[in-house]
Amino acid sequence: MSKSVQDMIKENRTNRSLLQFTEKVAPFVFLLCAIISVLTTIGIVFTLLVETITFFKRVPFMEFITSTEWYPFADENASYGVLSLIAGTLLITVIAMAVAIPIGLASAIYLSEYASLRVRKIIKPILEVLAGVPTIVYGFFALTFVTPLLKHVIADLPIFNALSPGIVIGIMIIPMIASLSEDAMSSVPNAMREGALAVGATKFEVALKVVLPAALSGIIASCVLGISRAIGETMIVAVAAGATPVFSLDVTESIQTMTAYIVQVSLGDAGYGSTIYYSIYAVGMTLFVFTLLMNLLAQYISRRFREEY
């Protein structure tokens, strides 16, 4: 049954009124979401600051940032030198990036410059699935598979060490670096590739000497974000790296990272209001500063080396 002209006009007015109402309400909804995000960030930073200040009222700041001994659970003469946790965190990060950057960049170059469209459609989803594996699964993979495998190479390797979780974190970061770097390389105009090929460059030379420098900002930013991800990783190091805060660069030793220490104390090893309890906020603030600096560095590099075509 066809509608009358009056019904169509009435329906049009109703739809227009609804559209006008939506147009008026939508900006306030978006503003509310933005305010919630900002307030959440402010709340997190405020909580960290307040609890960290409480910690430094009990432990000297200079001891915290200069001492290499971290023994918070000692009954007497407890020591809070965060350098041991920082050393463990950076050691894991260096191992992870030594694995992730070469493999991730090689994967990105292959996907961008060599792979056919069909192959790219197969490999990229597999990389994304790898990125979606829970970190606790990676942790047990490092403990029960990678460490026994490494024992065939390093006979006296202990069950808890820095090498195994570092390698697995690197494997976990590969999809991030590969995907972001491939996106950066794909954005390079084909005219640059064709021009290089026209003057006699090989495809490999085009990839390394033309495409790679042109996409440098995106590639470096992906690597910096990968470093931030490695610094903030928790479950893999908590499961496979052990809980020995030592100021050492020996990859075969059991170490403890900042995130692993926070997990250890959060499980109930310290009572509320104790110095150990407040120490997790001081360590958390240190971790927050590291991650913030990495993100700021990534933004700076992206702006500094960005190429516009």
Which architecture does CATH list for 71-304?
Orthogonal Bundle (1.10)
Contact 186, 124 (CB under 8 A): no
Q: What is the pTM of this model?
A: 0.82
Q: What per-residue confidence (pLDDT) applies to 201? A: 80
Q: What per-residue confidence (pLDDT) applies to 10? A: 58
242 conformational bin, left if phi > 0, alpha if psi -120 to 50, beta if neither: left
Residue spans per domain, the chain: 5-57, 71-304
Q: Among 299, 307, 114, 290, which Cα is nearest to 222's?
A: 299
CA angle 242, 248, 253 (to 5 degrees): 35
Q: Among 135, 90, 81, which Cα is nearest to 293's?
A: 90
What does the pLDDT look like over 14-40, one tens digit per residue? 556 667 767 777 788 888 888 998 899
Average pLDDT, the chain: 82
Contact 78, 64 (CB under 8 A): no
What does the pLDDT look like over 47-103, one tens digit per residue? 888 888 888 888 888 888 888 888 877 767 778 888 888 888 999 999 999 999 999
Q: Among 107, 119, 111, 308, which Cα is nearest to 217's?
A: 308
Gap between the Cα atoms of 282 and 270, Å rounded: 15
Tell me the mean pLDDT in the region 101-113. 89
